[in-house]
Structure 1
Amino acid sequence: MKPDSARPFSTLAAGREEPDRLALVAAEGSWTWSRLAREVGRVVVQLEAQGIDVSGPGGEAGSGEPIPRVAFSGDSSVDAVIFALACFELGVTAVPLHPRWPGAVRKEVLDQIEAAAELLPGGREPGAMPKPLTFAQAAPRPEPAPEAPAAIVYTSGTSGRRKGVVLSRRAFVASAAASAANLGWQDDDRWLLNLPLAHVGGLSVVTRCLEARRTIVIQPPGPFTAEDFAAIVDGHHVTLASLVPTMLRRLLEHQPPWRPPAHLRAVLLGGAPTSPALLETALARGYPVLPTYGLSEACSQVATRRPGQHPINQAASTDSRVAHVGRPLPGTEVRIAEDGEILVRGDTLLSGYFPPGTASPIDDEGWLHTGDQGIFDAQGNLHPTGRRGDLIVTGGENVSPTGVENVLESHPDLRAACVVGIEDPEWGQVVAAAVVPRDPDHRPDLEPFLAEYLASFERPR
């Protein structure tokens, strides 16, 4: 079984090649690739009936006319997956809207992107849809250019200003290939989709499985619960999953403790800094956690450790206390600038921001300036150490809040910690911390512990 390399991002090609292979599993039922292709074809016909395609009024890539942009609620539903696949099939730009945005924000973004259409949940009902597109009808469809914008994923960024990250078809294909080279595919792999498609981590689950013709298992949209996650992993033979640290913490704190099944071979962990203490607890409990570093502007992953590679580098300096995320993925270059910023280069990078005119984070040599700080260890593993703008400058010394948080969270009596800088007339800033004890009635004495791992200027006052 080999994907049609001449037609990436094609559900119809997958339906021809692997008609009986399971493509999608959800509470509503299951879809083979041939059935999913028919569902996607219905939406394609619906959009074409409205005059929306890359050869119509919206123009074709390279013609000078913008590719039409199609919006939909970017949750983790069956509708969202099918709508995204239909956009990829047609060659228009998918714009998954965050399902938790208020109406005013949603309208602002729809106006900003000048959406050619908005696909609404429930719009796939048989009575509302045209006849399905057949494989024969799909044959002459032109292949969009690799540089054509495949999706716009919105992010608030560090400034708080909402902006769209424009990602090309080439970026998604390169990202999927890099992930596959690092993680590998097994014939029975099933990837759990429990992140919204409005996040590049959720959308990338769809594109990876499409490229590899593997199965997507959907966890119903809604608040994350450990019970639901465990039930769906156990009941649907999920082999791959993606989590953020908050989700992992909830799983570890769930009672009775859940033991991951042997078929769950990898859990990608990213989206926020992760403390070594949390990772060590997860590994000790049998969670196959793979810490990862990525960002929307690099189409998800930049570096992810390989299966079997311990995420804590015991040889690293004790004051950093940072878990490494492995080496950069194949095809991705990473270097550390003189000021400690992580720079990234490769085919996975964004084409630009939306709206047009927003300053690009890519320099003249093709390096993406991430705004994150990091170091490489002697083995070539990347250690992200925090955001540049988050550094606390106290008495002329730079302090990483993430590093201090990691030390605090390694204390056996603390559940969580948050470190910030507070303005101070003498020092400029001083380090302050808010902590959550495991026992609300017990206030641990932290001074001796902190003195062992932190310099005097790094300790909260």
Structure 2
Amino acid sequence: MVPNWITQRAMMSPHRTALRFEGEAWTYEQLNEISQHYARKLATLGIERGSRIAIYAPSTSSIIHMMLACMQLQCEMVLLNLRLSPYELAYQIDDAKVDAILTDDTLCEKLPETTVAVYRFTAIESTAETSLQMDDTWDEQATMTIMYTSGTTGFPKGVRQTVGNHVAVATASLYNTGLRDDDAWLCTMPLFHISGFSMLVKCLVQGVRLDLYQKFDEAVVATELINGTVTHMSAVAVTLERLLTELEARDAVVSPKFQMILAGGGPVPESYLLRGFERGIQTAQTYGMTETSSQVATLSSKDALRKIGSAGQPLFFNHLRIDGAQKPGDVGEICVKSAQVTPGYIGRFAEHQSTTEGWLHTGDVGYLDDEGYLYVVDRRSDLIISGGENIYPAEIENVLAAHPAIKEVGVCGLDSDEWGQVPAAFIVAKNEAQCAELEAYCNERLAHYKVPKSFHIVKQLPRNGSNKLMRRYLKDLL
């Protein structure tokens, strides 16, 4: 058992500012009161302890209030990605077998048709409260969040993250970054992503402030960093580059109060690191995934230039090994053993084991150098990383293969100056005339960032002796 983070933090730091959003601020005492207020309203609607609840809302103070209410009820929260199509949302809602959906009023029309009860935030607000006693402790093994990540089969997997997983992340992060009284995290990452949600958890457990924004705006973020109003933030390469360009346009450096940017979602170009140093920014490259509930390895700022290209060393309480490696530099699959690793999946993949003898086999390829620093060679051999979003070719292929004009299809990533990579589809067609409809077809079934940016009609796809598609050779067809 672990203490109820919300009530414990309110007791320890009642008057400390916990959250700021669009000019408003809430203390930890206020967040505790608000969370209990909404938990009692949810109870009136029939949501009980342990219910599985989908949440579909943008990153505002309202979603945090609802998340905290669900935590008070010890619900399992299925966090739905706002960028998904109705087709994809329907799959996740059905696969998770949720008991109810909580949604921001502005997004109701984007939800697919469903028999599941849907409660708008305004409707919840107007609901009467049911008398309810909040628990002082939570079960460490209980599932707190479920986030979907695409699998190599093309079907998204619902990854379970427990109370204990999130505590382990917050603790490991604390050992890595330390803690100061004036610490504050700037969050522009979506709260439905593990990167955004883990920031919320760190702030609750560590008792520091979260400055929340609905989206990344380089002008706003640059001003925050120059003024020194925050100490930490997370970014992906594409947002880091936009921030650096903004600072360079202003010929500005950030405040010495700002400590670091944690950069994930793929490698950060060396040029970005060098440009960041010129603007007073320390960048720490990280490695992690939904299955590890956030980062498991981080490159310290002091090693940023000495170990260019590395994702750093494992955080405290985390262990990394390279499967089959005999010596430093041997390339193989990256394996992780940690209290952060998911205990398993739900729905279609509920019977799929997340670990083998305690080790998570990530599917990523990399190596450890002679000092134990991790280098990621490939984020899964076929994975496309576009603007920090993971895109699995098999998921796109699974959609396109159902189109009547397509005989065979293969998808890979092509380099993009703006996004790092974008997906491209290579098609052996049954009827080339109908292939003009493919973009519209994908737009109906895939999130916008997953829709191929180009479609190429080819005579045949590259395959090996076992007739297995070799995606790495698709680019050669251009």
User: Match of 1:225, as an amino acid?
Assistant: D
1:107 Cα shift? 3.0
How far did 1:6 drift? 4.4
Counterpart residue number, 1:188: 182
2: distance between equivalents of 1:20 and 1:185? 18
Distance 2:471 2:168 in 1: 43
Question: In the alignment, which residue of structure 2 is the partner of 1:319?
Answer: none
Contact (CA 8 Å) 2:287, 2:311: kept in 1 or not? yes
Is contact 1:176–1:207 with CA below 8 Å preserved after alignment?
Answer: yes
> Structure 2: which amino acid aligns with 1:7?
P
The answer to whether the Cα contact below 8 Å between 1:345 and 1:368 also exists between their aligned partners in 2 is: yes
Q: 1:229 is matched with which residue: 217, 221, 240?
A: 221
Deviation at residue 161 of structure 1 after TM alignment? 2.1
Is the partner of 1:365 in helix, strand or coil? coil
Listed as ranges, the matches of 1:203-282 within 5 Å are 203-219=197-213, 221-222=214-215, 224-234=216-226, 237-254=229-246, 255-282=249-276
Q: Which residue of 2 aligns with 1:329?
A: 315
The answer to whether the 8 Å contact 2:285/2:311 transfers is yes
SS in 2 for 1:70: strand
1:274, CA displacement in angstroms? 2.0
Match of 2:164 among 155, 167, 170: 170
5 Å-filtered alignment, 1:36-115, equals 36-54=31-49, 67-115=50-98
Q: More helix by proportion, 1 or 2?
A: 2
* Counterpart code for 2:253: R
- Change in Cα spacing, 1:100 to 1:417, as seen in structure 2 (3 Å) is closer
In 1: Cα distance, 2:421 partner to 2:187 partner:
29
Q: Where does residue 360 of structure 2 map in the other structure?
A: 368
- C-alpha separation between the residues in 2 aligned to 1:21 and 1:227? 28
Secondary structure at the aligned position of 2:3 is classed as coil
Q: Following the alignment from structure 2 to structure 1, what is the Cα–Cα distance between the partners of residues 31 and 318?
A: 32
- Please name the residue that 2:147 is paired with: 153
In 2, distance between residues paired with 1:142 and 1:425?
Answer: 58
5 Å-filtered alignment, 1:328-367, equals 328-338=314-324, 340-355=332-347, 357-358=349-350, 360=352, 362-367=354-359
User: Offset of 1:129 from its aligned partner?
Assistant: 4.5
- Tell me the SS of whatever aligns to 1:20: coil
The corresponding residue for 1:21 is 16
Residue 242 of structure 1: how far off its partner (Å): 0.4
Taking the aligned partners of 2:145 and 2:28, their CA distance within structure 1 comes to 22
Tell me how far apart the structure 2 counterparts of residues 369 and 203 of structure 1 sit (CA, whole Å).
23
Deviation at 1:86, TM superposition (A): 1.7
Distance 1:91 1:356, change over 3 A: farther
Structure 2 vs 1, CA of residues 29 and 381 (structure 1 numbering), >3 Å: closer, same or farther?
same
Q: Is the 8 A contact 1:293 1:304 kept in 2?
A: yes
**TM-score (normalised: structure 2):** 0.72
CA distance in 1, matches of 2:315, 2:7: 29
The Cα of 1:102 is off from its aligned counterpart by 2.5
Separation in structure 2 between the aligned mates of residue 138 and residue 389 of structure 1, nearest angstrom? 50
How far off is 1:273 after superposition?
2.3
- Alpha-carbon contact 2:227-2:254 (below 8 Å) kept: no
- Provide the residue aligned with 2:389 in structure 1: none
Alpha-carbon distance between aligned partners in 2 of 1:342 and 1:166, rounded to the nearest angstrom:
20
Aligned-partner Cα distance in 2 for 1:112–1:324? 37
Query: TM-score when scaled to structure 1?
Result: 0.75
Q: Which amino acid aligns with 2:202?
A: R
Q: What is the distance in 1 between the residues matched to 2:21 and 2:259?
A: 21
In structure 2, distance between residues paired with 1:114 and 1:430: 37
* Separation (CA, whole Å) in 1 of partners of 2:471 and 2:20: 52
* Cα pair 2:42 2:124 within 8 Å, conserved: no
User: What letter matches 1:128 in structure 2?
Assistant: S
Look up the equivalent residue of 1:36 and give its one-letter code.
L
Q: Contact (CA 8 Å) 2:157, 2:348: kept in 1 or not?
A: no
Aligned 8 A contact 2:187 2:233 in 1: yes
The CA deviation at 1:418 is: 5.7
| 1:28–1:415 distance in 2 versus 1, CA, 3 Å | closer
Distance 1:252 1:260 in 2: 10
CA deviation map 1:97-149 (0-9, x unaligned):
1112223332332232222222222626896154598xxx646x263321110
AA aligned opposite 1:367: W
CA-CA distance at 1:12 after TM superposition: 2.4
Q: CA deviation at 1:377?
A: 1.3
Aligned residues between the structures: 385
User: Structure 2 counterpart of 1:325, which letter?
Assistant: A
In 1, Cα distance between equivalents of 2:142 and 2:71: 10
Q: 1:429 to 1:355 in 2, by over 3 A?
A: closer
1:28 CA displacement: 4.7
In 2, Cα distance between equivalents of 1:424 and 1:126:
54
Alignment RMSD, CA only? 3.3
Structure 1 residues 70, 433: closer, same or farther in 2, change over 3 A? Answer: same
Is the partner of 2:171 in helix, strand or coil? helix
Q: Does 2:17 correspond to 1:34?
A: no
Cα separation, 2, equivalents of 1:420 and 1:379 = 36
Name the counterpart of 2:3.
Answer: 7
Q: Deviations over 1:280-322 (max 9, x none)?
A: 3322332111110010000001101234332542xxxxxxxx6
- Distance of aligned partners of 1:352 and 1:430 in 2 relative to their CA distance in 1, 3 Å threshold: closer
Partner of 1:202: 196
Contact 1:311/1:325, CA 8 A, preserved across alignment: no
Secondary structure in structure 2 of the residue aligned to 1:84: helix
Shift in alpha-carbon separation, 1:213–1:381, aligned structure 2, 3 A: same
Identical aligned pairs, as a percentage?
Answer: 28
**1:90 partner letter:** L
Q: Secondary structure at the match of 2:381?
A: helix
Question: Matches of 2:19 and 2:217 in 1, distance apart?
Answer: 21
Structure 2 alignment gaps of length 5 or more: 106-120, 325-330, 384-414, 427-460, 465-469
Shift of residue 330, structure 1, vs aligned partner: 0.7
The question of whether the paired residues in 1 share the 8 Å contact of 2:365 and 2:381 is answered with no
Q: Which residue type is aligned with residue 91 of structure 2? A: E
